[in-house]
Amino acid sequence: MKTILCIGAGYVGGPTMAMIAKKCPDIKVLVVDIDAARIKAWQSDRLPIYEPGLAELVKATLNKNLFFSTDVAAGIREADIIFVSVNTPTKSFGQGAGRAADLQYWEKTAREIKANATSDKIVVEKSTLPVRTAEAMERILHSGNKTVHFEVLSNPEFLAEGTATKDLETPDRILIGGHDTESGRRAVASLVDVYAHWVPRNRILTTSVWSSELSKLAANAFLAQRISSINSLSALCERTEANISEVARAIGMDARIGARFLNASVGFGGSCFKKDILNLVYLCQHYGLTEVAAYWEQVVTMNEYQEDRFARKMSSTMFNTVAGKRIAVFGFAFKADTGDTRESPAIRVCRYLIEERAAVVVTDPKALDNAKKDLADLAGKITYEPDPYKAAEGAHALAVVTDWADYATLDYKRIYDSMIKPAFIFDGRNCLDHKALFEIGFNVHPIGKVPLSHL
Ligand code: NAD
Ligand code: UGA
C-alpha cells in the first residue's frame, strides 16, 4: 500500500488529505503537524476548522486510511509521497518585510525531510510559494549525503474556503509541475495517478515546475484583480447613480469577461490574496520589473481603499460622527461558510470604528473566537454577541461585512423596532433586500448603488 504524508494540518492539508483518503482507499494517508492541539482536534468531533461537508468527509476515513499525528519524523520515513502544506505567510521582519514570503516553516520542513528520509521520496509543494522555490528545496534536499533521491514537484491548491470539499471533489483543474527528466516524468506520473482516482485525466495539467509555481500566484492575482476592478467602479457608481450590480451583470454577460467574481464588496479578505499578490510584487521588484510590480500592487491598494471607504462612509452618513453610537457588525469571517478571519475586511472596519469611539458589537455564527483573537488588543472596547437580534438591540446602525446566507432572512422588522432611530444599514456585501429594508424604515446604504434614505 502506498503511503502519502502531508506536513501541515491546516485549511489546505486537512481537507485535501481527507479527500485523497476518501477517493483512494488503496492509499494510506498520514497528516502531521507540530501543533498538537490541532492534531487532537482533527481526531475529535470538533474539527479545528469549519468547512461545510468536512466533518462527514473526515469521519468516513478517519483511522481507516486517514491518520493524524505529531510524529513528523516517523511519517517522513514511511511515506512515498510527501506533500508540504505548511503556512507561508508574508515576512514581517528584515529584507522584504511586508511583501516577501516568509519561508522559514517551509525550509524547516525541507531540512526535516532530509534528516529523516531513508528511501527515495517525491516531495510535493502544496503550499503557495514564490517561483523557483523548488530549486531551493532541491538544494537543501540534495546537500551532503546523496544516498536518497528526492524529486520535487509543484502541485498548488486552488480550493476556496467555504467550498473546499466541493472544490476538492470536482476541481476545475489539477496542476502538477515537474522537471522534464526521466525521474521527474516518473514522479509526475505517480502524482497524476493519485488524482486520476477521481479527477478526469483531461483536467490534470502537467507543466514545468516554474510555470506551476507562477500559475498559482497568477490565478490569485487575477481573481483579486477582478474584485478590485469592480470595487473601483462601485465608488464611481456611488457618484454617478449607476448601479454596480447592473454594470456587473452587463459586463459579465460578455463571454470573454464572464460573470463570476464580480460582486462588489467591502473588500476581499482571506489569508492568501493579499499575501500572494505582495509576494508577486516582491518577485517582480527582485527581477527589476518595477512597472509590473506597481501594476499588481495597485490591486491591494484598491482593496484597502475600499475597506476604508466603507468605514468612512458610515461615519459621514451618520452626521459625521459615530462616537458613542452602537454599531452592530454583522459578520466577521472573511467570507460566508467559514470561521476563518484572516485578513477579513471586518478587522479594518472595526478598528476604524473603535478609533472613532463607536460602541462596536460583533456578531458572527462561526468566527467569534477568531475575532476575539484578532482584536485582542481592543479587549473591553468591543462586545461579542452570537445572536444577531441581540447585537442589533439599541444599535444606531448595522454594518454587514460577511455575506452569511442567514443574514438575508432575518426578521428585519423586529430588528428595526429594537434599534435607535434613524436606523441605518450599511450593506458591505449587497446581500440584503434593500427595497424591503427601506420600506420597513431603514436608511439603506449599499455598495455601488444609490442609497435608499428617508432623511
Ligand atoms: P494553516 O496555517 O492553516 O496551516 C499550516 C499548518 O502547518 C499549521 O497547522 C502549522 O502548525 C503547520 N506547520 C508549520 N510548520 C510546520 C512544520 N515544520 N512541521 C509540521 N507542521 C508545520 O495554512 P493553510 O491555510 O492551510 O495554508 C497552507 C498553504 O496553502 C499556504 O502556503 C497557503 O498560501 C496555501 N493555500 C491556502 C489556501 C486556503 O484556502 N487557506 C488555499 C490554497 C493554498
Ligand atoms: C481564494 C481563491 O478563490 C482560491 O482559488 C485559492 O486557492 C485561495 O484563495 C488561496 O490560495 O488561498 P478564498 O480566499 O478561500 O480562495 O476565497 P474566495 O472565494 O476567493 O474569496 C476571497 C475574498 O474575496 C472573500 O473575502 C470574498 O468575500 C471576496 N469576494 C469574492 C468578493 O468580494 N467579491 C467576489 O465577487 C468574490
Residues of the chain with pLDDT under 70: none
Ligand number with the minimum distance to the CA of 302: 2
Cβ 160 under 6 angstroms from ligand 2: yes
Tens-place pLDDT, residues 364-391 = 999 999 999 999 999 999 999 999 999 9
Cβ 88 under 6 angstroms from ligand 1: yes
Tens-place pLDDT, residues 201-223 = 999 999 999 999 999 999 999 99
- In this prediction, residue 24 carries a pLDDT of 98
* CA-based nearest residue to 303, from 332, 272, 330: 272
- In this prediction, residue 294 carries a pLDDT of 98
Cβ 396 under 6 angstroms from ligand 2: no
As a whole number of angstroms, the distance between CA 3 and CA 76 comes to 10
The Å distance, Cα 294 to ligand 1 centre, comes to 28
Contact 353, 312 (CB under 8 A): no
As a whole number of angstroms, the distance between CA 84 and CA 79 comes to 12
Q: How far is CA 165 from CA 39, 54, 400, in A?
A: 19, 6, 26
Question: Hey, what's the cell of 301?
Answer: 491598494
Cβ 272 under 6 angstroms from ligand 1: yes
- For atom 15 of ligand 1, the residue with the nearest CA is 105
Question: Hey, what's the cell of 331?
Answer: 459578520
The Å distance, Cα 78 to ligand 2 centre, comes to 35
- In this prediction, residue 117 carries a pLDDT of 95
As a whole number of angstroms, the distance between CA 27 and CA 42 comes to 19
As annotated, the active-site residues are: 272
- In this prediction, residue 62 carries a pLDDT of 97
The pTM of the full predicted model, rounded to 2 decimals, is: 0.96
Ligand number with the minimum distance to the CA of 15: 1
Look at the block and give the residue holding cell 458589537: 361
- In this prediction, residue 157 carries a pLDDT of 98
The Å distance, Cα 256 to ligand 1 centre, comes to 34
Determine the atom of ligand 2 nearest the C-alpha atom of 161.
Answer: 15
- In this prediction, residue 122 carries a pLDDT of 97
- In this prediction, residue 145 carries a pLDDT of 75
Q: How far is CA 316 from CA 398, 448, 450, in A?
A: 15, 16, 15
* CA-based nearest residue to 15, from 63, 77, 85: 85
- In this prediction, residue 144 carries a pLDDT of 81
As a whole number of angstroms, the distance between CA 106 and CA 86 comes to 6
The Å distance, Cα 160 to ligand 1 centre, comes to 14
As a whole number of angstroms, the distance between CA 9 and CA 12 comes to 7
Q: How many CA atoms lie within 13 A of 373 on its CB side?
A: 10
What residues does 443 pair with on adjacent strands?
Answer: 424
Pocket residue to mutate for ligand 2, from 49, 170, 273, most atoms within 8 A of Cβ: 273
- For atom 4 of ligand 2, the residue with the nearest CA is 160
Give the total residue count for the chain: 455
- In this prediction, residue 132 carries a pLDDT of 87
- In this prediction, residue 147 carries a pLDDT of 86
Tens-place pLDDT, residues 79-98 = 999 999 999 989 899 988 98
Ligand number with the minimum distance to the CA of 42: 1
The Å distance, Cα 440 to ligand 2 centre, comes to 33
Backbone angles phi, psi at 207, to 5 degrees: -140, -175
- In this prediction, residue 34 carries a pLDDT of 97
Cβ 274 under 6 angstroms from ligand 1: no
Look at the block and give the residue holding cell 481573481: 223
Cβ 407 under 6 angstroms from ligand 2: no
